[in-house]
Structure 1
Amino acid sequence: MRATAQASRHLVPTTWWGRVQLRVNEFAGASPSRFALVVFASLVLVFTLLFTLPISAAGSSGTPLADAFFTAVSVICVTGLSTVDMATHWSAFGNVIIYFGVQIGGVGVLTLASILGMVISRKLGLRARLIAASDSNPLRAHAGPVAEGQAIRLGEVGNLLRTVALSAVIIELVVAVVLFPRMLAHGFSLYDSALNSLYYSAMAFTNTGFTPNTAGLTPFADDYIFLTALMVGVVAGAIGFPVIYAIAQNLRRKVRRRLWTIHVKLTLLTFALLMVAGWILYFALEVGNPQTFGPGGTGNAAFQSLFMSVMARSGGFWVVDVDHLHHATLLVTDMLMFVGGGSASTAGGIKVTTLAVLFLAAMAEARGVDSMEAFRRRIPTDVLRVAVSVVLWGATIVAVSTVTVMAITKDTLDHALFDVISAFATCGLSTGLTQHAPTGAVYVLAFTMFLGRVGTVTLAAALAQSQRGQYYQHPEERPIVG
């Protein structure tokens, strides 16, 4: 007993920093979801403080607290909405904060912390692997066995983190290299072209959508190479790091496509189908609209429709004025934004795999079979429960926020709904309501962005009490549904 007590005392850190680190590790390991919320909220507060500093603003008046808070949430949540002119309001110091902020928010706080820990210590412990794995697979927040084949196995977390770091650097550099000569061709100086190309590439890969120049994308409206590079960066960030990891493994080991996980297949298939569907709908609805891309000809309309379909998912870049779109086009954009991109990506929304699982459940019900199946694999019912929860929580957040914003701004439903969904899905498109919204609406939209970025699954798991076993069941009874 005495030897055991002496050994246990050696395990307790003697310094205050060691004790703090021990408490943080215990809290992170016990509830990664709550830890993620605390870290995200702490980062928002830190960046709010940084944005309120006089050195962050280009003018001498500084930045009001509401605008600083909204910008901090938009940066950390990689949304792209703003209440100030992002091209003129911030100083060089402020733009540096924005650049590194979107990098942190894009890869995920827990993932970035795990990457830094791996770089410093040159190893990845079990606790760090569990934290990073929970950031790549929200199903780990729930009780029951985790289907490792759906995302990333625990032993592959280290390779996933390396893929995240390398893909972020390589993709952003490649996009910047393509954008740099195009900006020179449009008359930008060598200095501005170098900085803005890096800025645009970061905003594309992180699906943020901020623009560093006052005219936005207007000078590049007919530059298909420039716009295509942005689309490539947005898609690369939106498909998700587990998919990028699978593609990298495929290229490295020449893995056949049929050996890819069902998560990768569902993500790529659903992502492509939604992109094509949006392309067709935008072309059909706006080809005759003289205020958008109607006068540019059929070829230009086809390209701009594809660009809009890609950016409406979560990219946030836009060439045409949102106010000039038809009401039907606004509704299509609402739906595309709400779905968003892939899981564990820089995109927002309820995720494409969530939509795919709901569709497979509806197909299974229509066929009269008990199980959902795709690519000769059976999907368990607990995945369907998570998908239904994500959609229900997401729709509830959007509905409550829309009603609140309408009550504060007295604006129309289509404008309020558009900006609220854009905030929830961290897309960044706006009808103009956000930039001119009263202070109360600014805070509502900021909290909507926060809830959308941390994810409804993470939020529910963080707010719930510790998981407990249920040792009894009530009698079964079926209500009438439908």
Structure 2
Amino acid sequence: MSVRTTAVSRNPLNRGRTVVGRARVRLSEFSESSPSRFAILIFAGLILLFTALFSLPIASADGKATGLADSLFTAVSVICVTGLATVDMATHWSVFGHVLIYVGVQIGALGVLTLASILGLAVSRKLGLRARLIAASDTNPLRMHHGPVAEGQAVRLGEIGSLLATVAISAFVIEVVLAALLFPRMLLDGIDVGTAVWHSFYYSAMAFTNTGFAPNADGLAPFADDYFFLTILMIGVFLGSIGFPVIYALSRSLGAWKARRKAKGRTIANRVRWSVHVKLTLVTSALLIVAGAALYIVLEFDNPKTFGTLGASDTVFQSFFLSVMTRSGGFSTIDIPDLNGSSLLVTDMLMFIGGGSASTAGGIKVTTLAVLFLAAFAEARGVQDMESFGRRIPSDVLRLGVSVVLWGATTVAVSSIIILQISKAPLDHVLFDVISAFATSGLTTGLTASLPDAGVYVMAATMFMGRVGTVTLAAALAASQRQQLYKRPEERPIVG
């Protein structure tokens, strides 16, 4: 018997416990000591589980086992809510396979550390301080590092329990409302009741989770001119992309507004003040949607393969739809390869940015972009501190933002080089699909489905890196942040 085993058996906390009980304690300790590694372990375990399930004959429509490459890629795409596919998602999978897809995207949409915190709660049976820190790490990656964290957070530790409730309730309510709006529209299109119910919930889930899979073989083609249907999808994608901390803030504001309405002149608590994170997310998201739509109008209005045959109002709507979907939605009413090269580049940039932090969207996040621009504006004005909405943003947030962008760009660059070498495809198509995989967007030029198994595995790894997050991976690789008790002499290199 080893010394460690003897010590564990003599530990009073482990006496009288079953093997399952001791395993639960060990798992709880691991989840508390390293939430980022625990999150990666959970996501990797889920991917392996769904890979095994997708490979079963019962999961495919023809009753045959699906190959490892396709099963693994589908599992990663589902758990990472990406939307890319190497098979026809509507026709390849059986009813059991589609149920797996539906359940998988719901699990993956919760977020890496949110999912870890929920599972840690199930293991420890309580929401202690460490469990709250795990959940808080998904709303603010700075919490994964040792050292003080400013109190002006999107969600405070005391509100984590309410946040987890908001995650579950908002996801359920939003998807049900979206499905209820889509259902009568499908009935009007002649779809039978049973299929309309299933497709309504399927589309609502794929919109809110920013996945972009379609249950029907034709995809959005039957609804390309149905602007009510497309608007509902846009709303679902937008709500999913702004992030659960923002949804939590909006729900609190709505509750405060209702309280003021009921008060009828009586004195009540002050209004809920939105954090800088909430304001930056909403403002930057709105600006990106408008800017993206404007660019698509200018670049595609004379392209006969996309918007060239449409009227002015149709071009504006379709441009806004494409602008919303590029930053992680994954739905498209046009063939992506038909876009002009300039539009593909714009789409690359929008996908790389992605949605809000702690959301179902991917990318480097809109607040990261906002912080970088605030730093550039501060430097141009000659001031030392970054400021936004009357608040000062500390420099450690900028360092984290720069790290996210650099690691994201490195991931995209390395994956693109490997895929270029494997496929020999054009650079613009390779770069587009790689960024789509990293940013979990789901749009494709058709390259992903044509890749050999080696390329499929590379794209799967890219999706995993994008969804888990560069910050989470970096924190997992570093057991702790070293405290340096000295400073070296300062010297300034030439920059620019």
TM-score range, shorter chain: over 0.9
Equivalent in 321, 336, 340 of residue 322 of structure 1: 336
Equivalent in 423, 435, 454 of residue 409 of structure 1: 423
Is 1:374 matched up with 2:388?
yes
Is 1:346 matched up with 2:349?
no
For the 8 Å contact 1:13–1:19, the answer to whether it is kept is: no
Is 1:101 matched up with 2:115?
no
Q: Which residue pairs with 1:78 in the alignment?
A: 81
Q: Deviations over 1:399-444 (max 9, x none)?
A: 0101110110000000000000000000000000001111111111
Is 1:281 matched up with 2:295?
yes
Report the Cα distance in structure 2 between the residues aligned to 1:335 and 1:146, rounded to whole angstroms.
31
Q: Which residue pairs with 2:70 in the alignment?
A: 67
For the 8 Å contact 2:35–2:116, the answer to whether it is kept is: no
Q: Which residue pairs with 1:435 in the alignment?
A: 449
Equivalent in 336, 340, 351 of residue 337 of structure 1: 351
Equivalent in 482, 486, 493 of residue 468 of structure 1: 482
Q: Deviations over 1:361-414 (max 9, x none)?
A: 001111111110111100000000000000000000000101110110000000
**Does the C-alpha gap of structure 1 residues 249 and 417 become closer, same or farther in structure 2, counting only changes over 3 Å?**
same
Q: Which residue pairs with 1:290 in the alignment?
A: 304
Report the Cα distance in structure 1 between the residues aligned to 2:220 and 2:249, rounded to whole angstroms.
33
3-state SS of the aligned residue for 1:474?
A: coil
Q: Deviations over 1:65-110 (max 9, x none)?
A: 0000000000000000000000000000011011010000001254
Q: Which residue pairs with 2:25 in the alignment?
A: 22
Q: Which residue pairs with 1:237 in the alignment?
A: 240
For the 8 Å contact 1:143–1:467, the answer to whether it is kept is: yes
For the 8 Å contact 2:187–2:196, the answer to whether it is kept is: yes
For the 8 Å contact 2:56–2:66, the answer to whether it is kept is: yes
> If the length of structure 1 is used for normalisation, what is the TM-score?
0.96
**Does the C-alpha gap of structure 1 residues 121 and 181 become closer, same or farther in structure 2, counting only changes over 3 Å?**
farther
TM-fit CA distance, 1:122: 8.2
Is 1:209 matched up with 2:223?
no
Report the Cα distance in structure 2 between the residues aligned to 1:256 and 1:434, rounded to whole angstroms.
52
TM-fit CA distance, 1:257: 7.6
After superposing the two structures, state which structure 1 stretch, 274-283 or 148-157, moved more. 148-157
Is 1:160 matched up with 2:163?
yes
Q: Which residue pairs with 1:309 in the alignment?
A: 323
Report the Cα distance in structure 2 between the residues aligned to 1:87 and 1:106, rounded to whole angstroms.
21
Q: Which amino acid in 2 is paired with 1:421?
A: I
Q: Which amino acid in 2 is paired with 1:105?
A: G
**Does the C-alpha gap of structure 1 residues 282 and 12 become closer, same or farther in structure 2, counting only changes over 3 Å?**
farther
Q: Which amino acid in 1 is paired with 2:255?
A: R
Equivalent in 26, 40, 43 of residue 40 of structure 1: 43
Q: Which amino acid in 1 is paired with 2:231?
A: T
After superposing the two structures, state which structure 1 stretch, 458-467 or 273-282, moved more. 458-467
**Does the C-alpha gap of structure 1 residues 10 and 40 become closer, same or farther in structure 2, counting only changes over 3 Å?**
closer
RMSD over equivalenced CA pairs, Å: 1.9
Report the Cα distance in structure 2 between the residues aligned to 1:10 and 1:213, rounded to whole angstroms.
55
Q: Deviations over 1:441-478 (max 9, x none)?
A: 11110000000000010011111232232111211111
TM-fit CA distance, 1:279: 0.9
3-state SS of the aligned residue for 1:373?
A: strand
Q: Which amino acid in 2 is paired with 1:138?
A: P
3-state SS of the aligned residue for 1:378?
A: strand
TM-fit CA distance, 1:147: 2.1
How many pairs were matched up? 478
**Does the C-alpha gap of structure 1 residues 478 and 177 become closer, same or farther in structure 2, counting only changes over 3 Å?**
same
Report the Cα distance in structure 2 between the residues aligned to 1:267 and 1:414, rounded to whole angstroms.
29
For the 8 Å contact 1:425–1:452, the answer to whether it is kept is: yes
Q: Which amino acid in 2 is paired with 1:196?
A: H
Report the Cα distance in structure 2 between the residues aligned to 1:95 and 1:86, rounded to whole angstroms.
8
TM-fit CA distance, 1:119: 8.3
Report the Cα distance in structure 2 between the residues aligned to 1:257 and 1:431, rounded to whole angstroms.
47
TM-fit CA distance, 1:296: 2.2
**Does the C-alpha gap of structure 1 residues 441 and 368 become closer, same or farther in structure 2, counting only changes over 3 Å?**
same
3-state SS of the aligned residue for 1:392?
A: helix
Equivalent in 347, 354, 359 of residue 373 of structure 2: 359
Report the Cα distance in structure 2 between the residues aligned to 1:448 and 1:118, rounded to whole angstroms.
29
Is 1:396 matched up with 2:410?
yes
**Does the C-alpha gap of structure 1 residues 110 and 372 become closer, same or farther in structure 2, counting only changes over 3 Å?**
closer
For the 8 Å contact 2:241–2:328, the answer to whether it is kept is: yes
Report the Cα distance in structure 1 between the residues aligned to 2:13 and 2:123, rounded to whole angstroms.
25
Q: Which amino acid in 2 is paired with 1:141?
A: M
**Does the C-alpha gap of structure 1 residues 474 and 174 become closer, same or farther in structure 2, counting only changes over 3 Å?**
same
Q: Which amino acid in 2 is paired with 1:46?
A: L
Q: Which residue pairs with 2:3 in the alignment?
A: none
Q: Which residue pairs with 1:266 in the alignment?
A: 280
3-state SS of the aligned residue for 2:130?
A: helix
Equivalences for 1:113-124 in 2 at 5 Å?
Answer: 114-115=117-118, 124=127
After superposing the two structures, state which structure 1 stretch, 447-456 or 458-467, moved more. 458-467
Is 1:170 matched up with 2:173?
yes
Q: Which residue pairs with 2:229 in the alignment?
A: 226
Q: Which residue pairs with 1:421 in the alignment?
A: 435
Report the Cα distance in structure 1 between the residues aligned to 2:32 and 2:431, rounded to whole angstroms.
38
Report the Cα distance in structure 1 between the residues aligned to 2:387 and 2:378, rounded to whole angstroms.
8
Q: Which residue pairs with 2:4 in the alignment?
A: none
3-state SS of the aligned residue for 2:387?
A: strand
**Does the C-alpha gap of structure 1 residues 440 and 7 become closer, same or farther in structure 2, counting only changes over 3 Å?**
closer
Work out the percentage of aligned pairs sharing the same amino acid.
Answer: 66
**Does the C-alpha gap of structure 1 residues 87 and 39 become closer, same or farther in structure 2, counting only changes over 3 Å?**
same
TM-fit CA distance, 1:35: 0.7
Report the Cα distance in structure 2 between the residues aligned to 1:100 and 1:431, rounded to whole angstroms.
27
For the 8 Å contact 2:116–2:134, the answer to whether it is kept is: no
3-state SS of the aligned residue for 2:155?
A: coil
Q: Which amino acid in 2 is paired with 1:455?
A: G
After superposing the two structures, state which structure 1 stretch, 69-78 or 121-130, moved more. 121-130
Report the Cα distance in structure 2 between the residues aligned to 1:400 and 1:121, rounded to whole angstroms.
40
